[in-house]
Amino acid sequence: MELCETGSLEDFLKSNRPNFVNWVKYGKLEKPKNSSIEISEQKTLITTLDLLKWTKDIANGLEYVHSKQVIHGDLAVRNILLSSDLSAKISDFGLSRQILNCSNYVKKTKVRL
């Protein structure tokens, strides 16, 4: 199992919320004209490009899980871990189910999804 020392994406986003820079303006992705953003060395600057990268990482991970015919069962931001290079990794497969020879998953119990 790989060590993801950065922790969960949820905790990372919460702790770095003041350091978010939104690059989306009027529906286009563009860098702010004032590029002299001051930030302390201990904090990490998060941009819209980082959010898009994590979205792509998660989508690629789910595509792999789908190719193995598995339903994750508990996909949430708390179950996404960040590696040291800030790549998103899907974790916590405790509620996952493998679907074999079946194109549709049918829920038969009355538990919350």
- Annotated catalytic sites, by residue? 74
| Amino acid sitting at position 92 | D
